[in-house]
Structure 1
Amino acid sequence: MMFLAFALAASVPVPAETPAASAAYAAASGAASELGITADGSRASEAAPPTAPSGEGASASAAPNPAAAAELSPGAALPSPSSDASPPSESPTSNASPSMPVPPSGDLLLYMNSARMEQGSKAYTAARPLAVKAGVSYGSLRSLAERLGFSVAYVPAKKETVVRKAGLEARFTNKSKYYTASGIRTLMKGAAYTDKGVFMVPLTSITAALQIPYTVDQRSHTITLKQAAEPAASFTVQAGDIIAGETRVQYKARASSPSNLQIVQEKWEGRQEVFAEPGIYPVTYQVQDTAGRWSKPYTLSITVTSPNIPPVAMFSTDKKEYRMGEPVVIADESTDEENAITDRQWTGKQAAYFRPGPVTVSLTVTDKHGAAAAFSQEILITDETLYAEDEFNRLFTPVGSNFPIDGTSVKNMELLPFTYDTEPYTLFRSTGPESIREEGVLYQDVIDGPARILLHHKNTTGPKLKIYMLASNPNPRPATLFIESSGMAGPTPYGEIAGQMSLQRYFASIASGSAARELVLAPGETRLLFQEIGQNALSQGDIVTFQGEVASDSAVKYTSLVVKADRDPLTALPSLPFLDPNQSIVRGTFADSTRIFDYAPVVGTTPARIYLSDNNADPFQTGYDGIKGTPATNSGNYGVLYKIVLERVAPHTLLTFNPRGGLFRGSALVNGSVVTFSHLGAASATDQNSVLYRTGAGEESVEIRISPAAGSNLPFCLLLSPLPSVRS
């Protein structure tokens, strides 16, 4: 005798379970396992719990059709379980319209080894009895599905029987061990078959595919398929604010019947087209089906706000008259009832003015509703001068902001002798091929000790790609990696922005220590390193940049690679080709990639400069290509970290950044604070200065950490100059 507990576990889905199906089937599984009864009522020693498939269908449910009752033949009296009434043929012959179900009412009760079914105090006879075949319980798909309100149709072109209701869809094929529910193919415990023209399917494949909960009663030898009885109602209103006395509320009602019954009546409570006063209003919706069942009330609380009051634009100045070059202090005093000003636009506002005469300053503010207000005020600039424009810029330009200079004058500044020591950080520079045209290994080498990783690549293949960094342990003992810093930027179409943001995050992680963690590799193990690199896919034209540092207690093989976004980099690695740079863009391994300039004499009393990445006083690194074994030159010294330590900087000294090669977006770490700056326009960039730091009234030690930004032009200078005296 076959075990019912095994028969009820008749399908094993390939995908993960949905929460709704999982809950229902877990309950049923528990019942079957606990009862452990067989088809003839005897106890089973063990049971395999059924599982449920995932996914929801997208098709609409069919309307009920009483003509479909021919197969089920309701009777006035309940037949005995041994009834052998001859069922009609269930052979699929129609290729046009589907068979439509009788509107059912209530749960469906099945008897083991019998064609008897009960529903709503009436008896029905299935086309074939429940049967056990090779340890699996089978039932008539059409009999069960239509009794529970599903439509059943045969598709000759695909030789499939399709069952649908309320967004669910399942497809079964004769002699196949698989069914498809909402596009997901799932394995059954047994193949579907035809018995005397009746299509038989494993019982729990039917319940799993159609998401029908069930229970088993060991005393009566019955199985109950649960049927949702009442209809469901819900509604939504339009997005956005609902304003008292203004907004016409748009209600979008939804109603459905799990039994495919027609919705014949609806009821609203609290509904208003326009709410006259602000407040919170509960609105309730219910529907009724043709069986007289009402849905549970569905209630939304609608928040009605007061009509918007526009913002008020206002500002004040600390004075009405200013000398030329005198700082103008403007206080924004704009207000909004909801504190929701989203935009401020100034005209005529400057930190100082350098021409005499009246000046009109205007402010326009806009709130989140789009309401705007404006305010203007006139101030007078006298013909007296407090600071010349250059003096003012040096004293008051904010850190990270730019002011204009004569770029040719930089060459006349004293050049501090750049002599440096190094720290043993080995640079792993993966920047070639910069433009990626195929999947493959971008760069690979073995490094022992501290390493700095620099990646800068662009997707030019078309399909979405992901770039990864891997670490492999080639040693017979575990290897420990100590991640020290991390700066990931992109994907973005703008290489200079990616380079700047990568450095900004890199320096921020150094300052905060937020990236610090350990990673242990077992002998022969390969793992993802810096997982943030592969987090987002690159579309066509996108660029990513990464700079970070990791140290190891033994030799580690580092690999940068690129694969299509849907591929696993670890499984793809053995089959990937090594890519050739094919460009002048460099890749390679470079030793001693931290350069330390420690300068003890006093600086800042006269204008001076430090010239970096010029391949003269600061020569380009030489190394090798770890894949090709050929020499390599780190043109531009990208990835090199400069630690500039000025031990004695005079009081009231200005330290600035000046690009010498054109466009530059960069970042630096100055005395522990991250400073980000931008110089746009290749022609004018050399005539701009970015403020990095100002010393105070006493002599100070200043440390600047800076690295050439990927995507920017080189070389660059750090400038030191005395500040003008402060006047009142």
Structure 2
Amino acid sequence: MDLKKLTLVAVLAISQAASAVPAFAESVNSTSGNTNAVGAAATSATDVMPEATDPLPPMPTEVPGGVVSPTPTPTPIPGATAEPTTTTEPTTTSEPTATTAPTATPLPSATPETTTQPTPTDGVRAAASNQLVLMMNSNKMYQNGVEYLANQPMAVKNGVSYVSIRAMVERVGVKYIYDYKTKETIVTKGSDVMRFKTDSKIYSVNGKNVTMKGPAYQTNGTFMVPLTSITGALGIPYTVDNVQKRVILTLNTKPKASFTVPTEIYAGDPVNFVTSSSSPNGTAIVDERWEGNKQDIYDTPGFYVVSYSVMDANGQWSDPYSVTINVLKPNTPPVANFTTDKDSYKMGEMITYSDLSSDPDGDPIEVTWTNKAEAFFTPGPATVAIQVKDSHGAISTFEKTINISDEILYSKEDFYRLFGAPGSVFNIDGSMVPTWQKVAYNLSSEPYNLIRSNSPETVNTEGITYKETSFGGTRFLVHHKNNMNIKTKVYVIAKNNNLYPTTITTEYVGFGGPSSFPEGTGKMSVERYWKSMITREHYKTTVLQPGESVSILTDLNKIAMKPGEIVSLQADLFSDYPIEYNVMMIEANKDPLTTLPTLPILDRDGVHNRGTYADSTRIITVTDEVGTTPARLLLGDNSSDLNLTGVDPMNGTEASNAGNFGVLYKIKFDRVAPNSLITFNPRGGNYMGPVMVNGQIVQMPNSGSLSSADMNSVIYRTGDYGGSVEILFTAASGSNLPVNFLVTPLPAKK
């Protein structure tokens, strides 16, 4: 065979061998014969690639029917002078040795080349172990001295550089899935979730939208995104080498280590070191190292520096994580102690206590008394105890026994009349109170429209519980229970139906709940209503443009109501033009403004009250002197104190405000005699709620409730000089009317 024929045969043989290389892998020649470099390259190439939890759109190299073409193993060139051998394409049934294929709808990963140590022109020489090199206008990538091929080359479209998102995330080592319904690629890095959508310039990170330089798109089954966007989303810094036409990404491959210790550590106490470690590419952590002064128990107070590091399976150590531990001196328990002004007392004699408890470290202490009474009314020994607890939980207790003689100084009723603190309770013969003289007074009113939304009190379905248009001073009393099997919220929506801007001024607000205890929500709403008057903390103005609707009195809906819970609200507003108000209860996660037009108006429950009532501030002025003889001021009985009458605007019927709940009473006694006592006496059943006396909030009672007409709660006491007394009262929702304010002379002091 002549030379020409030999040459032709050789060319044909080489062409056939080249055709055996898979479409996604390409042989690379090298003149280097360094066997160590070859071994390193082969080792990197056999690292297992991270699996996606759901496949991206199929790439052109995927075999139909779910059969995966295995990734070829890099084959080192045997020598510097030898011709490169061809790599025989594996059969479709063989298991790939370099890359573990995804398990759902598998796709071939970016594939290592059959390569030896690359030359400088490969772009590999500058690729350190923490770098990923992307070649411009090419599908070649280099990492750890190994060449990989992306499923699509880096491309420029409308001046924006695009890369295959799959090739990027595989090389970086983060998780990804593709949502075929939304056409989104979802990338997860730690706790961060990034979503890229086909043909959109917007991607999101943990729900926050970010604008890209160009829209994501798909080509040949590959999802392409702007390089700046995917590197920014993953927090990967990069540089551009225009000389060698490459982009160099700096990857963080070091593991991370950290640990925590208790916020307060005391000498002599065990210390719990809680460690945490992770690897950005999921490599297993195989070793750890402590440095510095780590001790399980520190015997001496002071500062100690402790460092913690971890190593991954690749032998890479994390940066040390260091903490300076402040070891405190051991806690010294508090000391409980008290004295009394005497050791023996008569029945009904005032006892003066002096709390001498302290904490050697200066920590705040919590004090709890047991059997501490202002006076005792049974003869014999009486043991009083005090317990104090510091902020570290250390407790100390002290008790003292005093002797009570059988001599009576004051009866229990007389003692509390003379010395009981405001809010304290004593018993009287309640059956005699209706025989007392009624206080004469002058009655006037202030023009406040009361919107009482209390029916249905128990709400069984979503809907509007009240709808009204009001102008000027408007007072709200809202009291509702969620009887649905979902969490709900109550809203008050204000709408400006005028042709001009309208201003709502919020004056006073008191809110209680959510709670399953109706009396408790009513008590809390009234207490906060009084506090709002003192502090003016809720005072603000809201301007509504024509046609605008807003949610107001938002304390109502800060917390969702669970099934069975109740909310109470008392609030005063003022508007310079008419405002339409809607009170509604809806599912907690719904938008009130868009839901309102879809809601029905709920029917009354036939038991509780709803209505709009004018002149809901009643001014009671008592000009005669009171306190020289027992007298009573009766409220909420619909006889001495008539119910407000009004209208139910939802059905146009007349309404009567039973109990006058929501009415603000401004009571002024111009002349209260010296040595007089004013008390609060319930007549309609259980009651609990505060009043405001001369600008001070007084609970009725201090603890518990007034459960019978025989119970009397102290409100105010004059001394040797009389004077005027002003009381603000509004009935607490959940409690019962009518009630009495009693004015009596004090017994003589002994």
Would you say same fold, with TM above 0.5?
Answer: yes
Aligned partner of 2:503 in structure 1 is 480
Distance change >3 Å, CA 91–CA 403, structure 1 → 2 = closer
How far, CA to CA, are the matches of 2:414 and 2:343 in structure 1?
Answer: 23
- The one of 447, 451, 455 aligned to 1:424: 447
Instruction: Please say which of residues 127-136 and 88-97 is displaced more in the overlay.
Output: 88-97
**AA matched with 2:673:** A
d(CA) in 1 for partners of 2:75 and 2:201? 32
Q: Distance in 2 between matches of 1:349 and 1:158?
A: 69
Deviation at 1:504, TM superposition (A): 0.9
- Residue of structure 2 in register with 1:505 after alignment: 528
Cα deviation, residue 190, structure 1: 5.3
Q: Tell whether the 8 Å contact from 2:508 to 2:533 is kept in structure 1 after alignment.
A: yes
- Shift of residue 218, structure 1, vs aligned partner: 5.9
2:257 corresponds to which residue?
233
Answer with 1 or 2: which has the greater Rg: 2
Alpha-carbon offset, residue 125 of structure 1: 4.0
Conserved? CA contact 2:496–2:544, under 8 Å:
yes
Aligned length: 654
Query: For structure 1, which segment, 136-145 or 476-485, has the greater mean C-alpha deviation from structure 2 after superposition?
Result: 136-145
Task: Return closer, same or farther for 1:348/1:409 CA change in 2, 3 Å cut-off.
Answer: same
| Within-5 A mapping of 1:317-466 | 317-340=340-363, 343-466=366-489
Corresponding residue for 2:277?
Answer: 255
Q: Which secondary structure state, in structure 1, belongs to the residue aligned with residue 434 of structure 2?
A: helix
1:594-673 equivalences under 5 Å are: 594-673=617-696
| Residues 98 and 152, structure 1, Cα contact 8 Å, conserved in 2 | no
- Please state whether the residue corresponding to 2:593 is helix, strand or coil: helix
Cα distance change, pair 119–552 in 1 and its aligned pair in 2 (3 A): same
Give, as a single letter, the amino acid of the residue that structure 1 aligns with 2:274. Answer: K
Matching of residue 145 in structure 1 with residue 126 in structure 2:
no
Q: 1:315 to 1:635 in 2, by over 3 A?
A: same
Which protein has greater RCO, CA pairs closer than 8 Å, 6+ apart?
1
Moved more, 355-364 or 438-447: 355-364
For structure 2, the residue ranges without an aligned partner over 5 or more in a row are 1-43, 50-69, 80-86, 93-98, 113-126
Q: Distance in 1 between matches of 2:196 and 2:512?
A: 49
Return the offset for 1:550. Answer: 1.0
Aligned to 1:115: 139
- Secondary structure of 1:233's counterpart equals strand
Contact 1:650–1:700, Cα closer than 8 Å, also in 2:
yes
Q: State the shift of 1:178 in Å.
A: 10
Q: Could you tell me how far apart the structure 2 residues matched to 1:87 and 1:675 are? A: 91
| Contact 1:75–1:124, Cα closer than 8 Å, also in 2 | no
Aligned residues of 1:75 and 1:122 also touching (Cα < 8 A): no
Letter in 1 for 2:662: G
Q: Which moved more, 1:354-363 or 1:145-154?
A: 145-154
Structure 2 residue identity aligned to 1:413: W
Which residue does the alignment assign to 2:153?
Answer: 129
Q: Verify the 8 A CA contact 1:653 1:722 in the aligned structure 2.
A: yes
Letter in 2 for 1:573: L
Cα distance in structure 1, aligned partners of 2:156 and 2:569: 62
Specify the alignment match of 1:295 in structure 2: 318
Distance of 2:48 and 2:538 partners within structure 1: 69
Equivalent residue, structure 1, for 2:749: 726
Give the superposition deviation at 1:362: 2.8
Q: Look up the equivalent residue of 1:110 and give its one-letter code.
A: L
Report the Cα distance in structure 2 between the residues aligned to 1:262 and 1:177, rounded to whole angstroms.
36
Post-superposition shift, 1:74? 10
What letter is aligned with 1:149? G
**Alignment partners' CA distance in 2, 1:221 and 1:342:** 71
Q: Distance in 1 between the 2:502 and 2:208 partners?
A: 43
Q: Distance in 2 between matches of 1:480 and 1:175?
A: 46
Q: 1:160 to 1:75 in 2, by over 3 A?
A: farther
SS state at 2:358 partner: coil
Deviates more, 1:151-160 or 1:671-680: 151-160
| Distance verdict in 2 for CA 1:99–1:706, change over 3 Å | farther
Indicate how the Cα distance of structure 1 residues 312 and 132 shifts in structure 2: closer, same or farther if over 3 A, else same: same
**What is the match of residue 616 of structure 2?**
593
> Percent same amino acid among aligned pairs?
41
Q: Separation in 2 of the partners of 1:672 and 1:154?
A: 66
1:365 shift after superposition: 3.5
Cα-to-partner distance string for 1:455-514 (whole Å, 9 max, x where unaligned): 001111111111111222222222222222111111111111111111111112122333
Greater shift in the superposed pair: 488-497 or 398-407: 398-407
The letter for the 1-side match of 2:225 is: P
**Match for residue 66 of structure 1 among 47, 66, 83:** 47
Counterpart position of 1:21: none
Partners of 2:746 and 2:495 in 1: CA distance? 53
Counterpart of 1:622, as a letter, is T
Match of 1:698 among 721, 727, 735: 721
SS at match of 2:512: strand
Q: Which moved more, 1:206-215 or 1:489-498?
A: 206-215
Distance 2:544 2:181 in 1: 55
CA deviation after TM superposition for structure 1 residue 343, in Å: 5.0
SS at match of 1:678: coil
CA distance in 2, matches of 1:396, 1:445: 49
Residue 259 of structure 1 deviates from its aligned partner by: 4.0
Q: TM-score, normalised by structure 2?
A: 0.78
Indicate the residue corresponding to 1:268 in structure 2: 290
Deviations 1:605-634 (A, max 9, x none): 111100000010111111111111111111
CA distance in 1, matches of 2:164, 2:573: 64
Q: CA deviation at 1:288?
A: 3.5
- Whether the aligned pair in 2 keeps the contact of 1:664 and 1:680 (CA below 8 Å) is no
Matched position secondary structure for 1:677: coil
> Is the Cα contact below 8 Å between 1:313 and 1:334 reproduced in 2?
yes
Task: Please state if 1:494 is matched with 2:485.
Answer: no
Cα RMSD, aligned residues only: 4.0
1:539: which partner in 2? 562
116-125 or 406-415, which deviates more: 116-125
Name the CA shift for 1:708/1:157 in 2 (closer, same or farther; >3 Å).
closer
**Counterpart residue type for residue 308 of structure 2:** Y
Is residue 315 of structure 1 aligned with residue 296 of structure 2? no
| Contact 1:662/1:682 (8 A) holds in 2 | no
CA contact (8 A) 2:700 2:706 kept: no
Q: Deviations over 1:347-371 (max 9, x none)?
A: 4432112334333333343445554
Does residue 105 in structure 1 map to residue 105 in structure 2? no
Closer/same/farther in 2, CA of residues 418 and 167 from structure 1, 3 Å limit = closer
Secondary structure of 2:701 counterpart: strand
Note if contact 1:99-1:152 (Cα within 8 Å) is conserved in structure 2. no
Q: Map Cα deviations across residues 256-278 of structure 1 (whole Å, 9 max, x no partner).
A: 23244444543212111222223
Of 363-372 and 617-626, more deviation after overlay is shown by 363-372
Q: Distance in 2 between matches of 1:708 and 1:583?
A: 21
1:642–1:169 CA distance, 2 compared to 1 (3 A): closer
- For residues 721 and 178 of structure 2, the distance between their equivalents in structure 1, rounded to whole angstroms, comes to 91
8 Å Cα contact 1:481/1:519 also seen in 2: yes
Larger mean Cα displacement after TM superposition, 170-179 or 328-337? 170-179
Q: Please give the secondary structure, in 1, of the residue aligned with 2:628.
A: coil
Mapping 1:192-207, distance limit 5 Å: 193=218, 195=220, 199-204=222-227, 206-207=230-231
Provide the C-alpha distance between the structure 1 equivalents of 2:723 and 2:415, rounded to a whole number of angstroms. Answer: 23
Match of 2:540 in 1: 517
Q: Distance in 2 between matches of 1:355 and 1:309?
A: 39
Q: Decide whether aligned partners of structure 1 residues 266 and 583 sit closer, same or farther in structure 2, where only a CA change above 3 A counts.
A: same
TM-score by length of 1: 0.80
The 2-side partners of 1:154 and 1:563 are apart by: 37
Paired residue type of 1:500: K
Counterpart of 1:43?
none
1:667–1:362 Cα change, 3 Å: closer
